[in-house]
């Protein structure tokens, strides 16, 4: 099965092999199994009709807490520059600038604020 994943704005195509037997893996006593599904995505670069230009915004990939807002409105940012730092389940998630140089148009969250998955955090010009 081929999937497309995006890491720090860079798209990668990966091939995943599923085991022939679809049995569940062994489980240790007292543990829980969490299942998730991966849905192939396409890189969005132009606004959909009546929608937002996904290449000019950063969304939260997780439910979490804003630990730090590094960028300020008007700041120029290069691809991969740290913009916001989130914490979810004691893990830090770096929200970085888009794949092209941009300028911060607005920051829609503040330090200490709880955010939800897919919530828009930053808009770029």
- Beta-strand pair 57-59/120-124: antiparallel
User: Could you tell me where the DSSP H helices lie in 10-93?
Assistant: none
Phi and psi angles of residue 4, each rounded to the nearest 5 degrees, phi first: -115, 130
- pLDDT at res. 3: 76
Q: Is the overall model pTM greater than 0.95, yes or no?
A: no
- pLDDT at res. 78: 92
For residue range 10-69, what is the model confidence (pLDDT) as tens digits?
888 888 776 665 455 555 555 544 443 333 333 444 444 456 788 889 999 999 999 999
| Through-space distance between the first and last CA atoms of the chain, rounded to whole angstroms | 37
Residue 98, number of CB atoms within 10 A of its CB: 22
Tokens coding 27? 């489980």
CB 68 within 8 Å of CB 85:
yes
Tokens coding 119? 């919530």
Q: Delimit the domains of the chain by residue range.
A: 54-124
- Fold for 54-124, please state it: OB fold (Dihydrolipoamide Acetyltransferase, E2P) (2.40.50)
């Amino acid at each position: 099965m081929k999937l497309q994943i995006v890491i720090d704005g860079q798209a990668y195509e990966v091939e995943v092999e599923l085991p022939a037997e679809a049995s569940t893996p062994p489980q240790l006593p007292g543990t829980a199994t969490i299942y998730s599904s991966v849905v192939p995505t396409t890189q969005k670069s132009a606004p959909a009709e009546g929608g937002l230009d996904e290449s000019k915004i950063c969304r939260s990939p997780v439910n979490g807490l804003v630990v730090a807002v590094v960028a300020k409105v008007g700041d120029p940012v290069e691809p991969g520059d740290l913009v916001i730092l989130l914490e979810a389940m004691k893990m830090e998630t770096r929200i970085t600038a888009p794949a092209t140089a941009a300028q911060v148009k607005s920051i829609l969250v503040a330090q200490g604020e709880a955010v939800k998955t897919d919530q828009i955090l930053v808009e770029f010009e």
